Structure 1
Amino acid sequence: MPAAQVPKISLDVAVELFISPISLSNLKGSRFFKDPSELGLKYEENILGTIDGINLSSWYIPSRSDKAIVLCHEHGGDKSHMLKYAKFLNDYGFNIMMFDFRAHGSSSGEYFTHGYWECDDISAVVDNLVSRGIYNIGVLGVSSGAAISVLSSSDKRIRALVVDSIYPSIEFMLRKWIDVEGFEVEDDYIDNILYRASVLTGADFSSLDPIDSIKKTDIPIMFAHGSRDRLVPIDEAVKIYAKANDPKEFLEVRGLHNHYLLNGINLQYESAVSRFFYENLR
């Protein structure tokens, strides 16, 4: 029998996938709700402007509270992917702000830079909450949304973080993608992806790794990770947790893989995350 062919991918295609709204992990699916109304939630739809001229599509779900949670979706997703999070957090009494990162969903923008420019997106969202008189602000991010939330924690208006399914570094995720797809690549393939992406976007990708940026975070942070995560094993999240400053917590959600919204958020997760935000948004 002829030997099985090893799949290959051109460098140009890999770079395009890396900085486009197409997820490298093919996480986007059809099991998501369309908008908050499908979950019985009243909401406002707004366009928020960033300091560098990007228009962000956002949904604001109000509550009778002085606390708000910003929800940050993953690479290749959009704000609708966070609706299950929005539902349980709003049920617990939090105002919710959810949005499409630049180059995703209904937002403008050409490239996604895994946090380099997206911190401006979170800043614009926080600006809007402050304009509403809301100052007790927490952020919950999933995967790359978690990594970006860590980078944004230098914004002193953000008082607490929950990072869900966080990865240690951009290089780790690129190598994982290559391994999962079974691509045959040269030794310097990832370095070349990052270099070309940097030239196209103006982003310094060497400064965005959560395993390093977590050391600068000085606000309360909860790490949430599935015990059976096959994309980013839980041991990797534990390593990041070890480098984080106090106060910090680690929530191991047993039996779940990555991205809890894809598997159905459970009561353990809901109660722990809600309790964490209540205790730290004061």
Structure 2
Amino acid sequence: MLSKWLKRVGYTFLVLFVLVNIIAAFHAYKFTHFYADAGPVKKPQEMSTVDKMKAIFFGIRYPKSKVVDSLNIEHQTISLKTTDSVSLESWYVPKDSARGTIIMFHGHGSSKSGIVAEARELHAMGYNLVLTDFRAHGNSEGSVTSIGINESKDVKAVYDYIVAKGEKNIIIWGISMGAATALKAVDEYGIKPTKMIIEMPFGSLHLAVQGRMKTMGLPAEPLSTLLTFWGGLELGTWAFNHQPSIYAKKVNCPVLLQWGAGDQRVTEDETNELFKNIGSRDKVMIKYLQSGHESLFKKEKAKWVSVMSFFLNK
């Protein structure tokens, strides 16, 4: 009798284990894919019972981000090609008597439209700019994102384009995934920017998934481990090795690391760890007490402008 009961318990756990992994695999796939034909993502209160069940078991189809050209500064739309033959769309924004060129990278699910406010301010400070849609974002080619693993090739393509123009003062600015990806490009390709400004980079992809689970009100584990595992498997890589906090050790230029104290996705501990690991001795970390995982410029404009001006001018 006991033996039969134990078998039933064992089969039950096996079925649950398989079911949870199937669900995790679906969710990981949806998180790394964008769909041109997907409509706006509904809020939970707007979903029908059927919609909620589909979302729970199969994940949510996220629309590919769209570009709205609201820059209102004269600029050129250019196309760049990565080493793995992905076409990227960028805006090149020239400035008379420019002090250098800042190449700018947005976060996951966004586009170059999402960093227009910061771009206008940096242009006013005297810099040429390049704003680029990462692969699978905005008007760039593709539908699959690797949350910075392959996007490092996008950073290198933009960097090489500006080097070819003869620019000597190349500054990288990135937010969230854009910041994490820039760190990977330094580690992987040895690019050498004059300065780096990184806002809210995650310490590792696993930690980034943990942060996302927390913001959704879900237990961080074992979901984040399963999602990281399946996401990497589907992309053909070991996603646990994607660690911007380790990439930071290769950085040897002046670095400004910025973080919002109310950030629910990137913790203070992982931010401190990443800062500690930055290889450059010329580094500074600024915390924004009124901000979360969002545009620090839009939330605390005066402070952001002051800090950026000081860092760029020193």
Band of TM-score, shorter chain: 0.7 to 0.9
CA 1:185–1:120: 2 relative to 1, 3 Å: closer
Among 194, 209, 215, the alignment partner of 1:180 is: 215
Aligned to 2:310: 275
Q: What letter matches 2:278 in structure 1?
A: A
CA deviation string 1:71-123 (max 9, x = no partner): 11111111111101101000000111011101111111232112221111011
CA contact (8 A) 1:81 1:261 kept: no
CA 1:214–1:157: 2 relative to 1, 3 Å: closer
CA 1:39–1:196: 2 relative to 1, 3 Å: closer
SS at match of 2:194: strand
Q: Identify unmatched segments of 5+ residues in structure 2.
A: 1-19, 36-40, 42-58
Whether 2:168 is the aligned partner of 1:135: answer yes
Q: Which has the larger radius of gyration?
A: 2
CA contact (8 A) 1:44 1:59 kept: yes
CA contact (8 A) 1:164 1:259 kept: no
Whether 2:137 is the aligned partner of 1:124: answer no
Whether 2:57 is the aligned partner of 1:44: answer no
Whether 2:283 is the aligned partner of 1:226: answer no
Q: Could you tell me the TM-score, scaled by structure 1's length?
A: 0.84
Shift of 1:167: 1.9
Q: Output the CA distance in 2 between the equivalents of 1:150 and 1:218.
A: 11
CA 1:165–1:139: 2 relative to 1, 3 Å: same
Q: Output the CA distance in 2 between the equivalents of 1:82 and 1:133.
A: 25
Identical aligned residues as a percent: 24
Whether 2:85 is the aligned partner of 1:72: answer no
Aligned to 2:121: 88
Whether 2:43 is the aligned partner of 1:15: answer no
Q: Output the CA distance in 2 between the equivalents of 1:122 and 1:238.
A: 24
Q: Compare relative contact order (CA 8 Å, sep 6+) and give the higher one, 1 or 2.
A: 1
Q: Could you tell me the TM-score, scaled by structure 2's length?
A: 0.76
CA 1:21–1:77: 2 relative to 1, 3 Å: farther
Shift of 1:233: 3.5
Q: Identify unmatched segments of 5+ residues in structure 1.
A: 1-7
Among 189, 210, 231, the alignment partner of 2:244 is: 210
Shift of 1:261: 5.3
Aligned to 2:191: 156
CA 1:261–1:78: 2 relative to 1, 3 Å: farther
Q: Output the CA distance in 1 between the equivalents of 2:251 and 2:306.
A: 24
Q: Output the CA distance in 2 between the equivalents of 1:59 and 1:261.
A: 22
Shift of 1:216: 2.2
CA contact (8 A) 1:256 1:263 kept: no
